[in-house]
Structures are given as structure tokens and as C-alpha cells.
Amino acid sequence: MYEAGVESLTLRLADGNEYQFPEMLSNGRANYILFEELVRNLTGLSKTKQSDHIADDGTTYEQKAYSDQSLYPTDKSDLFQTSASSTFGANNNGPIIKRLLENGQYQEALEICKATGYSKNDFYIYTNTKNYKIESLFRYFVLPTKRILELIDSDDPRLISRSVLLAQIKGLKKLT
């Protein structure tokens, strides 16, 4: 696990005026791109199509956000989405997967999740930036997709347990 303190999100205008935007850090719509870019800067990865990041050797990385355990400690916050967004809600495959799971067809649902995302990524980067609050340290860690497939929820292949993921972490490195 890697971690760093976040002090502020500041916009500096050409005239020298600065504005703070702490609410943008907690808003998923606003922080999605910001934290992806931060991970790229910290890791040396590059932006790519299909996945969120790519390494110089062609290895691909998908980035997902979970709610920080210290801010959101309840079981309600444990399971979160890890498959492609096209597998949820009314999006493309969402209704199909929902129907498959309602009919006990987990393996068929998993195959759709693999085809739409899991098979397109070599690694997953998890950040604690869902509903992020500035008083929390920014944290991220990386796991191979093969391991993610072993850890996904046994009732819904689109979900993964935050507590199960965090149990995989073997060390901590503070970023400066």
C-alpha cells in the first residue's frame, strides 16, 4: 500500500489569485479523473484507451475506488463495484447480468464481466477515493487481475470486498 497526505486542491489563476476546491475531492464525478492523473504521476504509468493506465511494456491497469475504511467502517461500505461500468445498472450488460444472477447463472455473468473488463486488464489499482475526504490519507495499492478473479464476490462477480482486498496488503510505503 502506498499513501500520501493531501493538503488541498488549488486552482491558481494567472493573476496570482488562488481558489480552494475541497468538495471536488469528495465528488466522484469530479475526483475520478483527478485521482487517475495523480496515480499516473506517482507511478509513471500513461493514459490509454480501454484501460485507465498502461506501462511502457504494454501492461494495462484499471483503477477502481473504494470508501476508506477509517471514514466508512460499516459492512454497508464493504462490497463495491470492481467490474466494468457497462456491467451495472441500465448500462449495456447490467440488465443481462442482473437477470443471470437472479436465475443462479453466476458463471455466465462472470463470463460477461471477463469479456467487458477483467480480460482487458493485467492489474487493478485500488484507491480509497470513493467519497474521499481531505482528512484521510490518499492510499492506493495494486493487485494482478488473476488475484482479483480469485477474490471477487461469490454471489455477484461485479463486486469485491474491501476488507478482503485490504487483507492482501503486505506493507506500507509513504509517498513524499
The domains of the chain are located at 2-82+126-151+161-174
DSSP string, 70-111: TTS-SGGGTEEE-S-GGGSTTSTTHHHHHHHHHTT-HHHHHH
Question: What mean pLDDT is predicted for residues 56-78?
Answer: 93
Quote the pLDDT of residue 97: 96
Quote the pLDDT of residue 26: 85
**Spatial separation of the C-alpha atoms in residues 85 and 92, rounded to whole Å:** 9
Quote the pLDDT of residue 95: 94
| Segment 97-116, tens digit of pLDDT | 999 999 999 999 999 999 99
The pTM score is 0.93
Residue 16 binned pLDDT confidence (cut-offs 50, 70, 90): very high
Residue 176 has pLDDT above 80, yes or no: no
Q: Any idea what DSSP says for residue 119?
A: G
Question: What mean pLDDT is predicted for residues 67-94?
Answer: 90
**Spatial separation of the C-alpha atoms in residues 11 and 21, rounded to whole Å:** 8
The cell numbers describing 170, all together, are 503486505
